[in-house]
Amino acid sequence: MTGTLDSPQLGHRSGRTLVGFVVLSVLTAGLLSAEFVPRVVDDEGRFLLWVLNGFAGVVLFSVLLAPVFGVTYGLWNGGPVLAAAVPTVPVLVGHMIAAQPVATADLSFALAGGGAAAVVGAVQTVRLSDGDGRAVRASLVGLAIAIATTVMAGVFLWRLLVTAGPHVTVGLWSTGALLALTLGGLAVFAVVAGPRE
């Protein structure tokens, strides 16, 4: 396991990478629990259902904060792949399990957050690497992830602008802000990773 944790795509320090995996696992498990547990509770378990509704609210709030967790992890430990996974994987897993093929505000928000986290992780990986070839390759992978998730989030955002009602306005603005952060991060990446004299 230590060999896996030592990858610069996941993080600069293996102990911090393990923390990133724990955060990712907790977010994913919480989202899956909020999705499945209420389905097995019958009407007689109303108190339990009330508790689960509160739990689902906490999970939703955590998923909304996941881009902040991802960007913070990228600043703290580099690792653009894991930084991007923190906001995107829980929501993608939830969409796959719910068999929800349509673009939603939370999916576009998660992808935009993944792009922002990936670019921050890529910049930090270059800063921490001292010219290490593995770290530079990891930052290029992070850059590719940032571009891909930003394009997907932009397409989803455009589709939502065309079809969505006024109730998703905050999600649209939040997604747009994350896209702007990602584009700014790409510009910073170009400066940091550019040729040095």
Residue with tokens 């990858």: 7
pLDDT at position 125 is 87
Range of the domain at 131: 2-192
**What angle separates helix 133-163 from helix 169-192, to the nearest 10 degrees?**
150
pLDDT at position 47 is 54
pLDDT at position 86 is 93
pLDDT at position 85 is 93
Q: Is residue 62 part of a domain?
A: yes
Q: Is residue 39 part of a domain?
A: yes
DSSP secondary structure, 87-153, as one string: HHHHHHHHHHHTT--S--HHHHHHHHHHHHHHHHHHHHHHHHHTT-HHHHHHHHHHHHHHHHHHHHH
Q: Is residue 14 part of a domain?
A: yes
Q: Which residues contact 78 (CB under 8 A, 6 or more apart)?
A: 8, 11, 12, 121, 124, 125, 127, 128, 135, 138
pLDDT at position 150 is 83
Rounded to whole angstroms, the Cα distance separating 152 from 111 reads 7
pLDDT at position 19 is 92
Q: Higher-confidence residue: 173 or 193?
A: 173
Q: Is residue 122 part of a domain?
A: yes
Q: Is residue 197 part of a domain?
A: no
Q: Is residue 30 part of a domain?
A: yes
Q: Is residue 67 part of a domain?
A: yes
Rg (alpha carbons) of the chain, rounded to whole number: 18
Residue with tokens 């907790």: 26
- The count of domains in the chain is 1
Q: Is the pLDDT of residue 191 over 90?
A: no
Q: Which residues contact 63 (CB under 8 A, 6 or more apart)?
A: 27, 31, 90, 91, 106, 110
Helix, coil or strand: residue 197: coil
pLDDT at position 170 is 65
Cβ atoms of 93 and 143 within 8 Å: the answer is no
Rounded to whole angstroms, the Cα distance separating 196 from 106 reads 40
pLDDT digits (tens, 9 = 90+) for 14-56: 889 999 999 999 888 887 777 666 666 655 555 555 555 666 6
Q: Hey, what long-range contacts does 191-194 have (CB within 8 A, 24 or more apart)?
A: 192/123, 192/126, 192/127, 193/123, 193/126, 193/136, 193/139
Q: Predicted confidence band at 106 (pLDDT cuts at 50, 70, 90)?
A: confident
143 to 23, 101, 130, 158: CA distances (angstroms): 22, 26, 18, 22
Q: Is the pLDDT of residue 197 over 50?
A: no
Q: Higher-confidence residue: 122 or 182?
A: 122
Q: Higher-confidence residue: 60 or 12?
A: 12
pLDDT digits (tens, 9 = 90+) for 125-182: 888 877 677 777 888 888 888 888 888 888 887 777 777 666 566 666 677 777 777 7
pLDDT at position 84 is 93
The pTM assigned to this predicted structure is 0.80
